[in-house]
Amino acid sequence: MEFENKTYIITGATSGIGKCVAKELAKSGARLLLLGRNLNSLNKLRDELNSPNNHDIAIFDSNKLDSIELAVAKFADKFKLNGFIHSAGVLSPMLLRDLNLDKMSELININLLTFFALAKATLKHNRYVKNDTSIVAISSMAAFGAEPGLSLYGASKAALNSAVSSLAKEYAKKGVRINAVAPLYVNTPMYDDFVNNFISQEAHKSKLNEIMPLGLIEPSDVAKSVLFLLSSQSSKITAECIKISSGGGMMKFKWKIA
């Protein structure tokens, strides 16, 4: 199996894309450390994975970045790491007039700074497998777009892409590859929230084909690209961002408010 005896950390593993990646990796023999906010959801997920006893779980709080180092240190004492997938993220569409420092910090902490904290914790000397480590950040097409209400989210994902390419250059000599996957709309709880709260169901139905001619993206579509970037099939690919646009370009939904 492709990921037999490989060890990965996943954030945001209990829902959406992260959950799908966790299931696929476990199916292919990987050992996982699942990071999340909620102990019950983490336990429930672990029980659903292949060989539950292979995997560890740890609670982390994105507003306390030190908790990531603690969780990783404990796990890395037992196993050398082959990389991580940063899938935790929040969308929080907000207009400028509704932004405040607390909301901004929370989003930047989860979407961007958690990635840095996890990279720092993973890429400590002797914690990762030289020449066999691959890191994937889940970004978004919003990083390349210009949508009202997604200024902060888009900025956080654009920053994430930038971090990915810089760090990839920093660690190429050590044989560490760092890439991003940037999908347009993915069929996840995050997307359901967005559709229900920010655009009308009608607009959604009538516009979806126009926005994404190849159809709404499923978490498994994203997971396939993630597994490709983790696998030896992409051994020469780094500092790259795979866009999954489903034939669309931008996020052209008409907002209820606009």
Partner 1 sequence: MDKKIAKFKDTIECDEPITPQTPLDSLAEWDSMGKISTIVMLADDYNHTLTYDELKELKVVGDILDLMNE
Q: Name the residues that contact partner 1, by CB under 8 A.
A: 125-126, 130, 170, 173-174
Which is nearer to partner 1, 44 or 130 (by Cβ)? Answer: 130
Count of positions (residues) in the chain: 258
Which is nearer to partner 1, 128 or 153 (by Cβ)? Answer: 128
Which is nearer to partner 1, 82 or 188 (by Cβ)? Answer: 82
The DSSP secondary structure of 92-121, one letter per residue, reads: ----GGG--HHHHHHHHIIIIIHHHHHHHH
Q: Shortest gap between Cβ of 118 and partner 1 (angstroms)?
A: 18
Looking at residue 198, the DSSP 8-state letter turns out to be H
User: Reduced to 3 states, what is the DSSP secondary structure of residue 26?
Assistant: helix
Which is nearer to partner 1, 74 or 174 (by Cβ)? Answer: 174
For 107, phi then psi, to 5°, come to -65, -45
Q: Shortest gap between Cβ of 125 and partner 1 (angstroms)?
A: 4
Which is nearer to partner 1, 170 or 192 (by Cβ)? Answer: 170
Q: CA–CA separation, 82 vs 78, rounded Å? A: 13
Q: CA–CA separation, 219 vs 242, rounded Å? A: 15
Q: Shortest gap between Cβ of 171 and partner 1 (angstroms)?
A: 9
Q: Shortest gap between Cβ of 215 and partner 1 (angstroms)?
A: 44
Q: CA–CA separation, 59 vs 67, rounded Å? A: 8
| Cβ 118 vs Cβ 163: under 8 Å | no
Which is nearer to partner 1, 173 or 236 (by Cβ)? Answer: 173
- The strand ranges marked E within the chain are 7-11, 31-36, 56-59, 83-86, 133-138, 176-183, 241-244
